[in-house]
A and B are shown apart, each in its own frame.
Chain A
């Protein structure tokens, strides 16, 4: 990490792309487990999944890999952004508007909000689950910490739901540019497949965002 500044511009972008695509795998797993909460009023399947994620040894190792992935993506994002700002010391009077990939203009902004969200989110759920006291609940399949109830209570707090919705929308915008951009940075640009990647990337961003948003909105309004 010490000579990360010395890496070439392309190397930095390749590292960011790989880290970013890796983080998407985490979003998918997270969303899959989250959605369980909507389909089971007793939270049994959700609590079981949460218990599995908190205790499975493979997941415990993987969670550190994930953490490193976040750190790499964020650090390189900041380095690249600072270099990019300093590449134009005198700004234009009239701002350019010719960008074709619209959300690419706001990657640092959406990224920062998502990062702040992550910290708060981490404090609310991860820290509580790991170190706080969560009441246990017994089902036929066994006894688990009732994380479902923690989620339910948190999503009854109005301001938190508003912040959650906002942050997830911005995450969607971040992904909308990020997914297709990662393929381009990795050197993948094909006359036939690139348009397909762009469509899949956009659909994926919309579905991921809607999936995550469904949970707080359904809990808050029911």
Chain B
């Protein structure tokens, strides 16, 4: 299929960016979206032009490196999938595809379609860990964990930290990401010990970095490639409220 691409080009973080139109021909419906961009970049390099910079790493949907806001949706038109796993069969011959970087104050553009997502790392550094060694793999059933909690914690831990939730949210809120990270610890005994301190520190950092407030539009859940549930946000709200009310330490 032949396509027109409208891509955000920005030479550096400080430079002023603009949209540039490109034509690509003979793209297979079986190609992934990033392979399509690879083809474009090869043609640009052949012409001596600067290739389009975009983040990617594993290309199997588990690393969280790829991003791209495609035709108004993070990770493109498919549900529950990252850009690298999204295939060109989602598009029609002759279509114009608008490709933008994630847009949020805490996600500044580095170059073209690459954004700096280290603000997510800062949130993790603020409390997204267990601060003592909990040892190796415990013997089965030596620490009783309800099956339901194990499942919920695992679902929350599926978050790959790609930032699609922030990109999709009309408020650029990071609540889905932060709540997934809070939940994966709060649901398990090893993480429970520091849960009250953790939620307060992580929320404080999230606010400080300039992410928006959650208004429960649930666009994050709709666009999350790992389909993280907004019930995690409610859990974080509960954790936060109870920590503020009963915790010995408040931040």
Contacts and interface: CB of A to CB of B under 8 A. Distances in A.
B103 A184 contact: no
Of A14, A84, A91, A194, the most chain B CB neighbours within 10 A belong to A84
A10 B234 CA distance: 10
Interface string A172-206: 00000100110011111101001000000000000
B213 interface: yes
B240 A10 contact: yes
B169 to A, nearest CB: 9
Contacts of A191: 231
B98 A100 contact: no
B103 A90 contact: yes
A101 B216 CA distance: 8
Interface residues of A, number: 40
A104 B203 contact: no
A99 B170 contact: yes
Interface in A1-37: 8-14
B212 A88 contact: yes
Contacts of B168: 96, 98
Contacts of A83: 212-213
Interface string B144-168: 0000000000000000000000001
Contacts of B234: 184, 187-189
Interface in B205-251: 206-207, 210-219, 221-223, 230-231, 233-241, 244
Interface residues of B, number: 47
Contacts of B170: 84, 96, 99, 105
Interface stretch (B34-42, B65-73, B81-89, B188-196): B65-73
Nearest to A6: B207
Given A84-B213, A94-B100, A181-B215, A10 B105 contact: no
Contacts of B98: 93-94
Nearest to B148: A191
A132 interface: no
Nearest to A96: B72
B104 interface: yes
A86 interface: yes
A6 B153 CA distance: 31
B22 interface: no
B244 to A, nearest CB: 7
A211 B238 CA distance: 34
Contact of B235 (A12, A100, A187): A187
A92 B19 CA distance: 11
B83 to A, nearest CB: 15
A106 to B, nearest CB: 10
A62 B100 CA distance: 51
B173 interface: yes
A84 B173 contact: yes
A10 B203 contact: yes
B187 interface: no
A86 B237 CA distance: 23
Given A87-B173, A100-B219, A13 B213 contact: yes
A86 B238 CA distance: 26
A177 B173 CA distance: 18
Contacts of B230: 184, 189
Given A10-B240, A92-B103, A187-B234, 14 more contacts: A8-B240, A9-B175, A9-B212, A10-B236, A11-B240, A80-B215, A88-B103, A93-B98, A96-B170, A101-B217, A101-B218, A184-B233, A189-B230, A194-B231
Interface of B: 6, 19, 69, 71-73, 98, 100, 103-106, 168, 170-173, 175, 203-204, 206-207, 210-219, 221-223, 230-231, 233-241, 244
19 contacts: A9-B203, A9-B207, A13-B214, A13-B237, A14-B237, A80-B215, A87-B105, A90-B103, A96-B219, A100-B221, A101-B218, A104-B215, A177-B216, A181-B215, A185-B214, A185-B216, A187-B240, A189-B231, A189-B233
